[in-house]
Chains A and B, each alone.
Chain A
Amino acid sequence: MVKNSLAFEAETFRKIQPQEYLRRFIQGNIRPDGRSLSQFRPTTVNQSCITTTNGSSMVRIGNTTVVCGIKAEVATPKFNSPLEGYLVPNIDLSPICSPKFKPGPPGELAQVLSENLNNLLKSASVLDLTSLCIKEGIAVWVLYIDLVCVNYDGNIYDASVIGMITALTNVKLPEATFEESSGLVKATEELSVTLKLQRIPYSVTVALFDGQHLLVDPTEVEESITSEQITIVFDEVGQLCSIWKVGGLPSSPEHLKQCMNIARERYKQISMIVKSSI
């Protein structure tokens, strides 16, 4: 090929014309990282990797890495719901995982993700909160679900949901009893109580490019170019737990149907991966 003065590197092209850069790839039915449009990145799950927590996991989707640790503490329940414990999910996106995040209080994306994780736990009633009760109206377990993103390369929500759910499944609590005489909660040394989840939801995110091409499991580069993503959460019996679509061009019901089919297939994959990680 003759090199003329107008030719430039692919990286330069991406910076100048990001849309066109991605469009060229899509026309060839391939994505910048070599995947096909419907191919997910290699996903690995590592359970109970942090011994100082009650439950933990580490999830990698391609280069995106999320570590989840759950710590249990005793607290007093709310007056309105004396039998219910608390689940407090929180995600931390620090400058460690990507230069686009600034140090300091949680940014907008981190707050939105935490809120969505909390909504999912609540509205899909993943855990029966009364199972966290130690003594009605006096003591309940509060589970702090802390997620730390170690490396950010797109699709953080899917990784967070897998991380949170697997960490919840391997939570081990001590046997706790409330002693009326001393007014204290006594806990055993041994961690023997496990939680019974009512539902195992996993989320699948699909990016929509040019209003017609569905790119599953988008990377950070793809996320920044496409601007519209559809997230669908299914549970183990194929019931929908959440649908979330924000920004970008309007999408049609057909796209949503396609996404649902993709999500259903992916659910099987994820549950296989999680099962084999035990």
Chain B
Amino acid sequence: MASRKRPPSKIRTISIEPNYVNRDGSALFKFGDSAVVCSVNGPTEVKLRDEKVDKATIDVIFKPLVGLPGTKDKTHEYIIRSTVESVIKSNLYPRTLIQIVCQVMMDDGNILATAINATTYALMNAGVEMKDIAVAVACIVNKDGNILIDPELREIEKAQSYHTFAFSKTSFGLLFCESTGLFTEEQYFECYAICKIAAQEIIDKIRMKIQLDLT
């Protein structure tokens, strides 16, 4: 705890690099030393087997930092897909495929939150029409009951409970939430409130980056 250089409710420095790879849309999103590249291809042709007559098929591939994808990465794929499916206006792209590929570049905790943010930016970069955007933040409650936002790996290892939230930009409702460990109801809603403030900060950052990017 003593080694944490920033205040408990301060997220690490965010950096975003759009058009990171040569695809329809892509972005590198970084929370300090955690980085994920996301590339979006689409709307493009879909395999007949996966074709949906009334909406786009959304396919997510999550590649871990090292090794072959396991159940954890499959779970990440499922989470990212469910989260973006609820914001993409997929009825505008019937019989097409929107393919999202996430590759972990550096891992220092909160990979899922980083990947969700990278995906959000890459989708905007690709110009896929969405009714809302998802921004994700993670936090932990440590053994002393203190809430640390955007924890690093070594902090997560010692955590009492670990929470990842994805908020909707317009309503600040919960699009996705995964909480593990042992915690109380009060702690949970405290985490929720703190992460919500951080999510606003990320949205402001994204907005600034979009502006910078286009001028």
Contact = CB atoms under 8 A, between A and B. Distances in A.
Q: Do A and B come from one complex?
A: yes
Interface of A: 108-109, 111-112, 114-116, 118-120, 123-124, 227-228, 235, 239-253, 256-257, 260
Given A247-B86, A253-B192, A114 B71 contact: yes
Interface string B147-172: 00000000000000111000110011
B44 interface: no
19 contacts: A108-B74, A112-B74, A115-B74, A119-B180, A123-B181, A227-B86, A239-B184, A240-B179, A240-B185, A240-B188, A247-B83, A247-B175, A247-B176, A249-B86, A250-B167, A250-B172, A252-B173, A256-B174, A260-B185
Main secondary structure of the interface of B (DSSP, over half): mixed
Contacts of B162: 123
A111 B71 contact: yes
Contacts of B77: 108
B64 to A, nearest CB: 13
B182 A112 contact: no
Contacts of B192: 253
B183 A239 contact: yes
Contact of B75 (A116, A124, A240): A116
A260 B171 CA distance: 22
A55 B180 CA distance: 26
Interface string B77-103: 111001101100000000000000000
Interface of B: 71-72, 74-75, 77-79, 82-83, 85-86, 132, 161-163, 167-168, 171-185, 188-189, 192
Given A243-B177, A246-B78, A252-B174, 18 more contacts: A109-B78, A115-B71, A116-B75, A120-B180, A123-B180, A240-B161, A240-B182, A240-B185, A241-B181, A242-B179, A242-B180, A245-B174, A245-B176, A246-B82, A247-B82, A249-B86, A250-B167, A251-B173
Contacts of B163: 243
A243 B181 contact: no
A248 B75 contact: no
A235 B179 CA distance: 14
Nearest to B165: A245
A260 B189 CA distance: 12
B83 to A, nearest CB: 7
Contacts of B179: 240, 242-244
Nearest to B163: A243
Contacts of B184: 239-240
Nearest to A234: B185
Given A112-B78, A115-B71, A244 B173 contact: no
A139 B132 CA distance: 53
Nearest to A107: B74
Contacts of A253: 174, 189, 192
Given A115-B75, A247-B83, A247-B85, A124 B173 contact: no
Contacts of A115: 71-72, 74-75
A246 B165 CA distance: 10
A204 B177 CA distance: 15
Contacts of A241: 180-182
Nearest to A227: B86
Contacts of B180: 119-120, 123-124, 241-242
